[in-house]
Structure formats: structure tokens, C-alpha cells
Structure 1
Amino acid sequence: MARTDERFREAYNALLNICSSKSEGDSLPSEAELSRTLDVSRTVIRSALSRLNEVGIIHWNGRQKLVMRQPADTDLIEVNLETISNEELERRFLNWILRFDVPPGTPLNVSELSRWFNVPAHALHEFLASLSRFSLVERRPKGGWKLLGFTREYAMELFELRTMIELNAISRLVKSPPEDPIWQKMDDLKQKHQELLAQINERYNDFSVLDEQFHSTIYSVNHNRFIVELQRVIALVFYYHYQWDKRDERERNEAAIHEHLKLINAIQSRDEQEALDAARDHLSTSRKTLLLSLKINNKQ
């Protein structure tokens, strides 16, 4: 598929989403605004509008673009780009930030990043919009997005929230009934930690994935839709950003594994106070590591 055709298809499908958010008789934004929002040329926008007009979704006459009907699933056109989950897109975005040390204030070129991540531009727009709720990115006045980054103040505010959520989850976890599937998950996590510890010299880089899985499993006992959303931004900051500091990574990860195992053993013994104490020790280490990383990476 030619790149120009690919851009047209992406823009057309994105315009369908915009039309879906409108009522019949509503007007679409100007061509210039649509061009900025979708990060494509006005030529591509006009081609997409022309097709919308042809299939009766809009009535286009000069500057007037009125929505005539709601789009249906059959109105979508195929885009030969990889379909990935939000979790995978999030992972690619984070790796891009960390690998290239993208500083706060950096403009985000959606067209370029969509090619880099191999996803449709509209999917990336939706992803960035979801991050904007957590003040990690923001829309630029003249269109596009800007990375706000992770400041010390942001991280500390989030750390306070993380501490409350995690300690509450641990208190709930130790009181879970014996038949709860969480106990099998804790057994599996314990085994994975022991295996990684035995191979720490060769596999210390694998800890970041296990770290996220460990804390996500603990949070899972809350069964709270709001915590699920907050867990995303907590993962952004705590399980990715601070780990990009590679100094003494092996030693730090080995120490963290021991702290995890201490907490797992306390949880499995159903000793709430011991588990909470172990969690606070681990959270304290995590806080120090994060602050050091922010100081090094952001020169704060």
C-alpha cells in the first residue's frame, strides 16, 4: 500500500470517529483544524471529506460540513498496519522515551511516532489523550502533543498514592480465603523470583518485567476500577522510568528480589504486620531509587 493511500485511510477512519462523536446536523471543524488534529496535510483531509460526502455521512458544501448520519462499522476501511494492544503500545512508547532519553517539553510528532510504533495515527492520538488525564502529556495550542515528563514533584505525589494503594492491597491480600486464586499466583511469583535470583548474573535485566508483574498481582486484589487506571501511570513512573538508570543495576535488582521474597513470605504466612513492614521497607528503597534516577536523568 502506498504511503499516501495509507495516510488517507488513517485520516478517513479518524474522521469517522469524529463524526461518531457528533449528532446529525452538527458541523465538523475547519480543514485547517482537522489537519492539525490528525497531523496530515489538507490534501489528505479533503480527500477523506470527499469520500465521507460520497457515502452520505456528511454534506460538504464549501466551508460547511454537516454530519448527516452516524457512521457504521462497515464504513471503516482497512489499514494495513499492525493491530496491537494498548498495553503493547504503552510499552513501546515508554521504551522510546527511555531509550532516547526524551526530555520534558519535547513536541510529539504523531505521524513520525505512528510509523515508529507501527500503529495508526488515530490510535496513537487516543493513547496520548488517555495519558493527558494523568498530566504526562498535553495538547499543544496549535495542534499536536507535548511530553510533560516526570518531575520530582509529580513522582512524589504519585508515590504517596502508590503507598496507600499498595498497603491497602496487602492488608486485603493476607485476609483472602485459602481458595482464592491469588495464593497460586503468589506461589508462582515466589518461584519466578527464586529462579531469577539463581541466575542473577545472566538475567538481571529480566527483573523489570517481574517487578511489574509482582506489584500488579498485589494491586489486583482491590477489584477497583479507579485503581486499575491509576496502576497504569504508576507503572509508567515506577516500573520503567527509574529503571533506566543502569548504574549498579545488577546489585539493585538482586536487592529488590530479596525484598520481594521477604514480602511474599510474610504474605504467605498471613502475618499482616510483618507484610506491611516488609512492604514499607521495599517502598522506601523504591522511593530512593526513583529520586536518584530523576536527579541523574533530569538534572534536578
Structure 2
Amino acid sequence: MARTDERFREAYNALLDYCETLAPGDQLPAELALAAHLDVSRTVVRTALERMQAKGLVRWQGREKTLLRLPLQDDRLHVQMEQLSTEELERVFLDWVLRFDVPPGTALNVTEMARKFGVPPHSLQEFLASLSRFGLVRRRPRGGWELVGFTRDYAIELSDFRMVLELNAVSHLVALPTDHQIWQQLAALEAEHLALAAEIDTRFHDFSVLDERFHTTIGSVVRNRFVAEFQKVITLVFHYHYQWDKKDERERNLAAIGEHLRIIEALTDRNEDGALAAVRDHLRTSKQTLLSSLRSHALA
């Protein structure tokens, strides 16, 4: 498929996505506005509108472009795209939330996000639907998605359950044999924490990724499908903390690095009591930071 044809197909499908936010009888914007929204030329927009008119999707008379019906799956054009795995899509989504400090209540434009992440809009729709069961996103009344946050009770329950899981993982970890791969992984994590601490002024944003890897590594010694599923909520709330006030992020992340290093030292010494105490202290700090920074907003 030629790139120009592929670009048209992407733009046409994106225009259908936009039409899904409207109701039959609504007017589409001017061609220039549609071209800017889709990031294509007016020629591409006209070609797309002609196809939509032939399909009975719109009535196009002069400057008036009336939506006659909502698009169906059969109206879409096939686009050859390199598919991201669910894990890769989750990574780019979380990184976007972190880097751009996306607050709760933000409308998620599926068309723009699909283009940004390089995935088909329907794949992004399915991904957002998977997050909605955790109360992380929700559908908007007139279509589309919205990023939502958490109530205080939700955060408390989540923190308490996280404590149970991680303390259990620590007890499993310290009993592992000396030739288990976890010990090399902990040594590598220790080196990465020390390197990040030395460059904290310019790299404090990078802690979220390291924080996720640290806790995921510890939790990986427990094979449990429910823990793996719960990790999605842990990642969004604690590691990417999209709803936190960022004004003291550097200081908070530097302190957390010190707490991680204390845990690693106790684990390496096979000091179960010391490791459990260090984990309790760290997770209590994390819980209090979350609660003190939580913004007031409704949970779907």
C-alpha cells in the first residue's frame, strides 16, 4: 500500500472517529477546520467527504455538511499499521500521562492520541475500555473518554492492599536460594538507584519508571494472576501518580530512592525483619504522600 493511500485511509478513519462524537443531524465544521483537526490538506478532506457522501454518511451541499448517520465498522478503511502490544501501549500511555502532567478530568481525544501513539483508534478504544474497569478512565456522556481520579477511600483501600501484597513478596524473596536471578536483579537496581540519585536534579522524572521496575521485580517472585492484574492499578496510581502535585517531586523522589536502597540492603543481607520494616515505612510514606496530594474529584 502506497504511503499516500495509507495516509488517506488514516485520515478518513480519523474523520469517522470525529463523527462518532456527533449526533445525526449535526453539522460538520468547515473544510479548513477539519484539515487542521486531521493534520491533512483540504484536498484530502474533500476526498474523504466525497466518499462519506457516497456511503450515505453525510449530505454535502455547498458549505453545509450534515451528518446523516453514525459510522459503522464496515464504513472504515483497512490500514496497515504495526501493532503495539498491550504492554507497549500501556507504557506509552503512562509515559504521556507522566511527562505532560495530565490532570484528572482531562478529555482524551482518541483520534489525536491514536496518531500520537501510532496505533489504530479501535485499539486505543479497547485499551481505554480495559482501564475503565479499574475506575481509571470513563466514557463521557456525548462520546469519548475522560481521565478520572480517585477518592480518599479508594486510595486508602488500594494502599492497604498493596501493603499486604508487598510484605508477602518480601517474605518469599528472602527465602530464595543464592543462585536465583533475583539477587542479580537487585544488584542492578541498586546501581541504577545510586546513579539516579547522583543526577536527581535533571532526571527526577525518570524515577517513576525505576520505581515501577523496583516494585515489580520484588513482586515477581510471587506467581499469582491476581497480583499481575492488580499491578495495572499500582502502576497508574503509585508509580505514575498522575494526580499528584508536582511541586516537590524532586525531593519526594530522592527520599524514595533512599527508602528503596534501605530495602535492597536488608533483602541482600537476608534480613527479613529489617526488610519488612523498611517496606512498611516506605509504603506508609507513599500512602501519606498520595493522600496529602490527592485532588478532590469524583470516582466513576
What letter is aligned with 1:157?
A: E
Q: Distance in 1 between matches of 2:283 and 2:100?
A: 27
Q: Distance in 1 between matches of 2:113 and 2:105?
A: 16
Moved more, 129-138 or 85-94: 85-94
Q: Distance in 1 between matches of 2:107 and 2:198?
A: 43
Per-residue deviation, 1:265: 0.8
Moved more, 113-122 or 259-268: 113-122
Q: CA RMSD in A?
A: 3.5
Query: Is contact 2:266–2:272 with CA below 8 Å preserved after alignment?
Result: yes
Listed as ranges, the gaps of 5+ residues in structure 1 are: 13-31, 33-39, 48-64, 68-75
* Alignment length (residue pairs): 247
Query: Cα gap change, 1:121/1:238 in structure 2, threshold over 3 Å: closer, same or farther?
Result: same
Whether 1:79 aligns to 2:83 is no
Report the counterpart of residue 36 of structure 2 in structure 1: none
Per-residue deviation, 1:105: 4.4
Report the counterpart of residue 90 of structure 2 in structure 1: 90
Query: Is contact 1:10–1:79 with CA below 8 Å preserved after alignment?
Result: no
Per-residue deviation, 1:253: 1.9
TM-score (norm 2): 0.70
Listed as ranges, the gaps of 5+ residues in structure 2 are: 17-23, 25-47, 56-71
Whether 1:153 aligns to 2:153 is yes
What letter is aligned with 2:152?
A: R
Percent of matched pairs sharing the same residue: 56
Query: Cα gap change, 1:200/1:137 in structure 2, threshold over 3 Å: closer, same or farther?
Result: closer
Q: Distance in 2 between matches of 1:44 and 1:235?
A: 41
Q: Distance in 2 between matches of 1:162 and 1:44?
A: 50
Report the counterpart of residue 271 of structure 2 in structure 1: 271
Instruction: Give the secondary structure class of the aligned counterpart of 1:146.
Output: strand
Query: Cα gap change, 1:169/1:118 in structure 2, threshold over 3 Å: closer, same or farther?
Result: same
TM-score (norm 1): 0.70
Report the counterpart of residue 227 of structure 1 in structure 2: 227
Q: Distance in 2 between matches of 1:94 and 1:237?
A: 10
Aligned positions of 1:45-56 closer than 5 A: none
Q: Distance in 2 between matches of 1:121 and 1:273?
A: 49
Per-residue deviation, 1:164: 1.1
Aligned positions of 1:45-194 closer than 5 A: 77-80=78-81, 83-98=83-98, 102-140=102-140, 143-194=143-194
Instruction: Give the secondary structure class of the aligned counterpart of 1:260.
Output: helix
What letter is aligned with 2:180?
A: D
Query: Cα gap change, 1:88/1:151 in structure 2, threshold over 3 Å: closer, same or farther?
Result: farther
Instruction: Give the secondary structure class of the aligned counterpart of 1:221.
Output: coil
Instruction: Give the secondary structure class of the aligned counterpart of 2:282.
Output: helix
Moved more, 250-259 or 215-224: 250-259
Q: Which has the higher contact order (CA 8 A, sep 6+)?
A: 2
**1:198-239 Cα shifts (integer Å, max 9, x gaps):** 333443332222111101101111111221111111010101
Instruction: Give the secondary structure class of the aligned counterpart of 1:149.
Output: coil
Which of the pair is proportionally richer in helix?
Answer: 1
**1:13-70 Cα shifts (integer Å, max 9, x gaps):** xxxxxxxxxxxxxxxxxxx8xxxxxxx99x76996xxxxxxxxxxxxxxxxx9x9xxx
